[in-house]
Amino acid sequence: MRTAPAIALTTEQRSMLEQQARARSLPARQVERARIVLRAADGCQNKDIADELGITEEKVARWRRRFLSGGIDALHKDAPRPGRPRTVTPGKVKQIVTKTTQEKPPAATQWSTRTMAAAAGVSESTVRRIWHTHGLKPHLVRTFKVSNDPQFAEKLEAIVGLYLNPPEHAVVLCVDEKSQIQALDRTQPGLPLKKGRCGTMTHDYKRHGTATLFAALNAADGRVISMCDDRHRHQEWLQFLRVIDSIIPPHKQLHLIADNYHS
Protein backbone atom coordinates (compact mmCIF):
# COMPACT_ATOMS: atom_id res chain seq x y z
CA MET A 1 0.00 0.00 0.00
CA ARG A 2 1.28 3.48 -0.90
CA THR A 3 2.21 5.59 2.07
CA ALA A 4 1.82 9.36 2.00
CA PRO A 5 4.98 11.39 2.62
CA ALA A 6 5.42 12.24 6.29
CA ILE A 7 5.19 15.78 7.63
CA ALA A 8 7.37 16.99 10.50
CA LEU A 9 6.33 20.26 12.13
CA THR A 10 8.44 22.61 14.18
CA THR A 11 7.03 23.91 17.47
CA GLU A 12 6.35 27.28 15.84
CA GLN A 13 4.60 25.74 12.82
CA ARG A 14 2.39 23.54 14.99
CA SER A 15 1.40 26.44 17.21
CA MET A 16 0.51 28.59 14.18
CA LEU A 17 -1.50 25.80 12.51
CA GLU A 18 -3.39 25.04 15.72
CA GLN A 19 -4.37 28.71 15.99
CA GLN A 20 -5.62 28.67 12.40
CA ALA A 21 -7.51 25.40 12.90
CA ARG A 22 -9.40 26.92 15.86
CA ALA A 23 -9.94 30.35 14.29
CA ARG A 24 -13.47 31.57 13.71
CA SER A 25 -12.60 34.64 11.64
CA LEU A 26 -10.47 32.94 8.96
CA PRO A 27 -11.93 31.58 5.71
CA ALA A 28 -13.25 28.01 6.06
CA ARG A 29 -10.86 26.71 3.39
CA GLN A 30 -7.83 28.00 5.33
CA VAL A 31 -9.07 26.36 8.55
CA GLU A 32 -9.61 23.10 6.69
CA ARG A 33 -6.10 23.14 5.22
CA ALA A 34 -4.56 23.72 8.65
CA ARG A 35 -6.48 20.73 10.01
CA ILE A 36 -5.30 18.56 7.11
CA VAL A 37 -1.65 19.36 7.79
CA LEU A 38 -2.03 18.85 11.55
CA ARG A 39 -3.61 15.41 11.10
CA ALA A 40 -0.95 14.51 8.52
CA ALA A 41 1.76 15.53 10.97
CA ASP A 42 0.16 13.23 13.55
CA GLY A 43 0.86 10.31 11.20
CA CYS A 44 -2.64 9.86 9.72
CA GLN A 45 -2.96 8.67 6.14
CA ASN A 46 -4.83 10.58 3.45
CA LYS A 47 -7.84 8.23 3.49
CA ASP A 48 -8.28 8.56 7.26
CA ILE A 49 -8.00 12.37 7.12
CA ALA A 50 -10.49 12.48 4.22
CA ASP A 51 -13.02 10.37 6.14
CA GLU A 52 -12.59 12.46 9.29
CA LEU A 53 -13.02 15.84 7.55
CA GLY A 54 -15.58 14.71 4.96
CA ILE A 55 -13.45 15.56 1.90
CA THR A 56 -11.75 13.63 -0.88
CA GLU A 57 -8.40 11.89 -0.67
CA GLU A 58 -7.18 13.90 -3.66
CA LYS A 59 -7.78 17.13 -1.75
CA VAL A 60 -5.86 15.86 1.29
CA ALA A 61 -2.95 14.69 -0.89
CA ARG A 62 -2.87 18.03 -2.73
CA TRP A 63 -2.51 20.13 0.44
CA ARG A 64 -0.04 17.70 1.94
CA ARG A 65 2.16 18.21 -1.13
CA ARG A 66 1.64 21.97 -1.09
CA PHE A 67 2.78 22.20 2.54
CA LEU A 68 5.83 20.05 1.93
CA SER A 69 6.87 22.25 -1.01
CA GLY A 70 5.95 25.71 0.30
CA GLY A 71 5.30 25.57 4.03
CA ILE A 72 2.47 27.41 5.78
CA ASP A 73 2.47 30.23 3.21
CA ALA A 74 1.45 27.73 0.53
CA LEU A 75 -1.79 27.04 2.43
CA HIS A 76 -2.97 30.63 2.17
CA LYS A 77 -3.53 30.81 -1.59
CA ASP A 78 -4.63 28.57 -4.42
CA ALA A 79 -2.33 27.67 -7.28
CA PRO A 80 -2.83 29.85 -10.39
CA ARG A 81 -5.25 28.46 -12.94
CA PRO A 82 -4.70 28.85 -16.68
CA GLY A 83 -8.17 30.28 -17.36
CA ARG A 84 -9.61 31.13 -20.75
CA PRO A 85 -7.10 32.20 -23.43
CA ARG A 86 -6.91 35.94 -24.04
CA THR A 87 -8.92 37.12 -27.00
CA VAL A 88 -7.44 40.65 -27.05
CA THR A 89 -3.72 40.55 -27.80
CA PRO A 90 -1.21 43.01 -26.30
CA GLY A 91 -0.77 44.43 -29.80
CA LYS A 92 -4.48 45.23 -30.01
CA VAL A 93 -4.36 46.88 -26.58
CA LYS A 94 -1.39 49.00 -27.68
CA GLN A 95 -3.23 49.97 -30.88
CA ILE A 96 -6.30 51.15 -28.92
CA VAL A 97 -4.20 53.12 -26.44
CA THR A 98 -2.21 54.75 -29.27
CA LYS A 99 -5.33 55.71 -31.23
CA THR A 100 -6.94 57.10 -28.08
CA THR A 101 -3.99 59.27 -27.10
CA GLN A 102 -2.60 60.33 -30.48
CA GLU A 103 -5.46 60.32 -33.02
CA LYS A 104 -8.88 61.93 -33.45
CA PRO A 105 -11.95 60.16 -34.87
CA PRO A 106 -13.29 61.37 -38.22
CA ALA A 107 -15.97 64.08 -37.95
CA ALA A 108 -15.74 64.15 -34.15
CA THR A 109 -13.72 65.88 -31.45
CA GLN A 110 -13.15 62.87 -29.20
CA TRP A 111 -13.39 59.09 -29.13
CA SER A 112 -16.37 57.29 -27.66
CA THR A 113 -16.53 53.59 -26.80
CA ARG A 114 -18.69 53.00 -29.90
CA THR A 115 -16.44 54.80 -32.36
CA MET A 116 -13.29 53.24 -30.92
CA ALA A 117 -14.86 49.76 -30.92
CA ALA A 118 -15.79 50.18 -34.58
CA ALA A 119 -12.33 51.49 -35.51
CA ALA A 120 -10.43 48.78 -33.61
CA GLY A 121 -12.78 45.89 -34.38
CA VAL A 122 -13.50 44.99 -30.74
CA SER A 123 -16.50 45.26 -28.42
CA GLU A 124 -17.45 48.36 -26.44
CA SER A 125 -16.85 46.54 -23.16
CA THR A 126 -13.29 45.73 -24.29
CA VAL A 127 -12.61 49.40 -25.08
CA ARG A 128 -14.10 50.44 -21.75
CA ARG A 129 -11.97 47.92 -19.88
CA ILE A 130 -8.74 49.00 -21.66
CA TRP A 131 -9.45 52.68 -21.01
CA HIS A 132 -10.14 51.97 -17.35
CA THR A 133 -6.93 49.92 -16.99
CA HIS A 134 -4.80 52.69 -18.53
CA GLY A 135 -6.65 55.56 -16.84
CA LEU A 136 -7.85 57.10 -20.13
CA LYS A 137 -10.89 59.42 -20.17
CA PRO A 138 -11.28 60.94 -23.66
CA HIS A 139 -14.49 62.75 -22.69
CA LEU A 140 -12.63 64.93 -20.15
CA VAL A 141 -10.59 67.99 -21.15
CA ARG A 142 -8.74 70.23 -18.71
CA THR A 143 -7.94 73.78 -19.77
CA PHE A 144 -4.77 75.65 -18.88
CA LYS A 145 -3.32 79.12 -19.43
CA VAL A 146 0.31 80.04 -19.94
CA SER A 147 1.36 83.30 -18.35
CA ASN A 148 3.11 85.88 -20.51
CA ASP A 149 4.62 87.61 -17.47
CA PRO A 150 8.44 87.57 -17.88
CA GLN A 151 8.78 87.39 -14.07
CA PHE A 152 6.27 84.53 -13.70
CA ALA A 153 8.85 81.95 -12.55
CA GLU A 154 10.26 84.25 -9.85
CA LYS A 155 6.77 85.11 -8.56
CA LEU A 156 5.78 81.45 -8.57
CA GLU A 157 8.84 80.47 -6.55
CA ALA A 158 8.18 83.24 -4.04
CA ILE A 159 4.53 82.28 -3.55
CA VAL A 160 5.14 78.52 -3.33
CA GLY A 161 8.06 79.16 -0.99
CA LEU A 162 5.79 81.20 1.26
CA TYR A 163 3.30 78.32 1.36
CA LEU A 164 5.90 75.65 2.08
CA ASN A 165 8.08 77.62 4.47
CA PRO A 166 6.11 80.47 6.07
CA PRO A 167 7.93 82.90 8.37
CA GLU A 168 7.81 82.24 12.10
CA HIS A 169 4.77 83.71 13.88
CA ALA A 170 3.09 84.40 10.53
CA VAL A 171 -0.33 83.68 9.01
CA VAL A 172 -0.41 82.96 5.27
CA LEU A 173 -3.76 83.60 3.58
CA CYS A 174 -4.70 82.93 -0.05
CA VAL A 175 -7.16 85.68 -1.05
CA ASP A 176 -9.36 85.93 -4.13
CA GLU A 177 -12.75 87.14 -5.28
CA LYS A 178 -15.67 85.51 -7.09
CA SER A 179 -17.64 88.23 -8.84
CA GLN A 180 -20.90 88.30 -10.84
CA ILE A 181 -22.71 85.83 -8.61
CA GLN A 182 -26.30 86.17 -9.82
CA ALA A 183 -29.18 86.10 -7.34
CA LEU A 184 -31.82 84.31 -9.41
CA ASP A 185 -35.34 83.27 -8.56
CA ARG A 186 -37.98 81.39 -10.56
CA THR A 187 -41.02 83.34 -11.74
CA GLN A 188 -43.45 80.75 -10.32
CA PRO A 189 -43.16 78.23 -7.48
CA GLY A 190 -42.45 74.68 -8.64
CA LEU A 191 -44.13 71.43 -7.67
CA PRO A 192 -42.34 69.23 -5.12
CA LEU A 193 -40.93 65.80 -5.80
CA LYS A 194 -43.32 62.90 -5.21
CA LYS A 195 -43.72 59.26 -6.17
CA GLY A 196 -43.82 58.86 -9.95
CA ARG A 197 -42.99 62.52 -10.66
CA CYS A 198 -39.84 64.59 -10.42
CA GLY A 199 -39.74 68.09 -9.02
CA THR A 200 -40.62 70.91 -11.44
CA MET A 201 -39.56 74.52 -11.98
CA THR A 202 -40.22 77.16 -14.60
CA HIS A 203 -37.69 77.67 -17.39
CA ASP A 204 -37.68 81.47 -16.93
CA TYR A 205 -36.38 83.39 -13.94
CA LYS A 206 -36.09 86.87 -12.50
CA ARG A 207 -32.81 88.47 -11.56
CA HIS A 208 -32.33 90.17 -8.18
CA GLY A 209 -28.89 91.58 -8.97
CA THR A 210 -25.32 90.37 -8.50
CA ALA A 211 -22.97 89.92 -5.58
CA THR A 212 -19.25 89.45 -5.05
CA LEU A 213 -17.76 86.90 -2.69
CA PHE A 214 -14.41 87.73 -1.10
CA ALA A 215 -12.63 84.79 0.53
CA ALA A 216 -9.32 84.18 2.29
CA LEU A 217 -8.05 80.63 2.88
CA ASN A 218 -5.76 80.04 5.83
CA ALA A 219 -3.06 77.79 4.35
CA ALA A 220 -2.18 76.32 7.76
CA ASP A 221 -5.56 75.08 9.03
CA GLY A 222 -7.93 75.40 6.05
CA ARG A 223 -10.15 78.01 7.73
CA VAL A 224 -11.96 80.37 5.34
CA ILE A 225 -12.66 84.05 6.05
CA SER A 226 -15.35 85.46 3.75
CA MET A 227 -17.34 88.59 2.99
CA CYS A 228 -20.15 89.32 0.49
CA ASP A 229 -20.74 92.70 -1.10
CA ASP A 230 -22.62 94.19 -4.03
CA ARG A 231 -19.47 95.44 -5.76
CA HIS A 232 -15.78 94.57 -5.98
CA ARG A 233 -13.98 97.88 -6.25
CA HIS A 234 -10.81 98.93 -4.49
CA GLN A 235 -12.90 100.16 -1.56
CA GLU A 236 -14.49 96.73 -1.02
CA TRP A 237 -11.06 95.08 -1.11
CA LEU A 238 -9.80 97.44 1.58
CA GLN A 239 -12.89 96.70 3.65
CA PHE A 240 -12.23 92.96 3.35
CA LEU A 241 -8.60 93.41 4.35
CA ARG A 242 -9.79 95.25 7.46
CA VAL A 243 -12.07 92.29 8.25
CA ILE A 244 -9.09 89.94 7.95
CA ASP A 245 -6.90 92.21 10.06
CA SER A 246 -9.52 92.27 12.83
CA ILE A 247 -9.51 88.45 13.03
CA ILE A 248 -5.75 87.83 12.93
CA PRO A 249 -4.15 87.89 16.41
CA PRO A 250 -2.00 91.00 17.01
CA HIS A 251 1.21 89.00 17.56
CA LYS A 252 0.88 87.32 14.15
CA GLN A 253 2.48 88.73 11.00
CA LEU A 254 0.08 88.66 8.02
CA HIS A 255 1.09 87.48 4.54
CA LEU A 256 -1.49 87.75 1.76
CA ILE A 257 -1.43 86.01 -1.62
CA ALA A 258 -4.00 87.66 -3.86
CA ASP A 259 -4.11 86.75 -7.56
CA ASN A 260 -0.50 87.30 -8.75
CA TYR A 261 0.42 89.71 -5.96
CA HIS A 262 1.92 88.91 -2.57
CA SER A 263 3.05 91.11 0.32
Question: In angstroms, rounded to a whole number, what is the distance separating the alpha carbons of residues 61 and 36?
Answer: 9
Note whether 109 and 175 are same-domain residues.
Answer: no
Note whether 115 and 19 are same-domain residues.
Answer: no
Note whether 249 and 166 are same-domain residues.
Answer: yes
Q: What is the pLDDT of residue 149?
A: 92
Is the Cβ–Cβ distance between 130 and 97 less than 8 Å?
yes
206 is a domain residue: yes
Q: What is the pLDDT of residue 258?
A: 52
145 is a domain residue: no
Task: Pick out the chain residues at pLDDT < 70.
Answer: 1-2, 251-263
Note whether 177 and 214 are same-domain residues.
Answer: yes
Find all residues with CB under 8 Å of 165, minimum gap 6, and list them: none
Note whether 102 and 59 are same-domain residues.
Answer: no
Note whether 222 and 168 are same-domain residues.
Answer: yes
DSSP assignment of 41-62: HTT--HHHHHHHHT--HHHHHH
Question: In angstroms, rounded to a whole number, what is the distance separating the alpha carbons of residues 196 and 83?
Answer: 46
- What total of structural domains would you count in the chain? 3
27 is a domain residue: yes
pLDDT digits (tens, 9 = 90+) for 133-190: 999 999 998 998 888 999 999 999 988 888 888 888 788 888 888 988 988 899 999 9
Question: In angstroms, rounded to a whole number, what is the distance separating the alpha carbons of residues 45 and 40?
Answer: 7
Note whether 30 and 95 are same-domain residues.
Answer: no
Q: What is the pLDDT of residue 261?
A: 40
38 is a domain residue: yes
Note whether 23 and 108 are same-domain residues.
Answer: no
DSSP assignment of 181-239: EEEEEESSPPPPPBTTB-----S-EEEEEEEEEEEEEETTT--EEEEEES--SHHHHHH
Q: What is the pLDDT of residue 125?
A: 95
194 is a domain residue: no
Note whether 107 and 48 are same-domain residues.
Answer: no
Question: In angstroms, rounded to a whole number, what is the distance separating the alpha carbons of residues 262 and 256?
Answer: 6
237 is a domain residue: yes
User: What is the chain's mean pLDDT, rounded?
Assistant: 88
Note whether 177 and 223 are same-domain residues.
Answer: yes
106 is a domain residue: yes
* Domain region containing 61: 11-75
CA 263 to chain centre: 37
Note whether 255 and 231 are same-domain residues.
Answer: yes
- pTM here is 0.43
195 is a domain residue: no
Q: What is the pLDDT of residue 112?
A: 94
Note whether 53 and 96 are same-domain residues.
Answer: no
Question: In angstroms, rounded to a whole number, what is the distance separating the alpha carbons of residues 222 and 241?
Answer: 18
